[in-house]
Structure 1
Amino acid sequence: MSKQGSRDTAPEVAVRKLLHAMGLRYRVNFPVPGMPRRTIDIAFSRAKIAVFLDGCFWHGCPQHATHPKSNSEWWRSKLSKNMVRDQETTEHLKSQGWIVLRFWEHELPDEIAATVTDTWTHQRELTRKNTR
């Protein structure tokens, strides 16, 4: 597991390239405020938008998750803890006023980027209206 890449995965890089090409600037692997050892894959810290690109295996995708046969009880426990941790992180960020967007690695990068861009644009418009 230590050799398993946890950052800069192909789906993350593809989405980041699209967002950057659209003129959006973001933080990568941004620490979750108040939660040590947890990071946001792509963060728009001023707009308080957190984007997570979850791997199907590690985060329990309902369509593509698999369950190893070898050492199955340990894996079941490990993957369940991952899902619980994801939910805790989402709840914590929402309680801090963040918008949390979660996507699966199999989703199309251009669709993810479009959703993120729409959310960012909407959030920026709300902020501008509130400051007038």
Structure 2
Amino acid sequence: MGAVRGSGNRTTELRLKMALVRSGVRGWTANRSDLPGKPDFYFESARLAVFVDGCFWHGCGKCGHIPKTHQEFWATKIERNRNRHKKVSKLLKIERIRLLRFWEHQLRDDLHRCVRQIVMRLPSK
């Protein structure tokens, strides 16, 4: 288990960040620790929290998998992550903050679609 190291989902978040910059999307802050779940991107003017979830770490139903070694450990860990997502979603809803959650494979498959989904939820200029 010690050999499995996460990079904090950095490369996936960085792909979305660069796509937002290239598209001219402004007004976001990264990793707002004062909000439930510490969103990867937060658009204050739209009250929109955006999370980018790695398929392995967050248990994507399409391409996430449980490693063959230490299966019980990984199954428990991924289930805790899923439960935390539900809790964070409820807390954000209570605070009237809208939520967008992207899987790593969604960014890989169609990054521009993900950016469009964000832009559609932002106030018009």
C-alpha displacement of 1:32:
4.5
Secondary structure in 2 aligned to 1:103? strand
| Residue type at the aligned position of 1:55 | G
Q: Mapping of 1:70-85 within 5 angstroms?
A: 70-85=69-84
Aligned to 2:117: 115
- In the aligned structure 2, how far is the partner of 1:66 from the partner of 1:32? 31
Computing the radius of gyration over CA atoms, which structure comes out larger, 1 or 2? 1
**Residues 46-95 of structure 1 deviation map (CA, whole Å, 9 limit, x = unaligned):** 32100011111111111101111211111111110000001111111011
| Percent pairwise identity | 27
Aligned to 2:51: 52
- In the aligned structure 2, how far is the partner of 1:92 from the partner of 1:42? 16
| Residue type at the aligned position of 2:16 | V
Runs of 4+ off more than 2 Å: none
Structure 2 residue ranges without an equivalent (≥5)? none
Aligned to 2:68: 69
Query: Cα gap change, 1:80/1:15 in structure 2, threshold over 3 Å: closer, same or farther?
Result: same
- In the aligned structure 1, how far is the partner of 2:83 from the partner of 2:115? 26
| Residue type at the aligned position of 1:105 | E
Q: Give aligned pairs, total.
A: 119
Query: Cα gap change, 1:75/1:3 in structure 2, threshold over 3 Å: closer, same or farther?
Result: closer
Aligned to 2:16: 15
Secondary structure in 2 aligned to 1:106? helix
Asked whether the equivalents of residues 46 and 121 of structure 2 are also in contact (C-alpha less than 8 Å), the reply is no
C-alpha displacement of 1:3:
3.8
Measured on the aligned residues, the alpha-carbon RMSD in Å equals 1.9
C-alpha displacement of 1:31:
1.6
* Corresponding position: 1:25 with 2:24: no
| Residue type at the aligned position of 1:119 | R
Aligned to 2:8: 6
Secondary structure in 1 aligned to 2:121? helix
Asked whether the equivalents of residues 40 and 50 of structure 1 are also in contact (C-alpha less than 8 Å), the reply is yes
- TM-score relative to the length of structure 2: 0.85
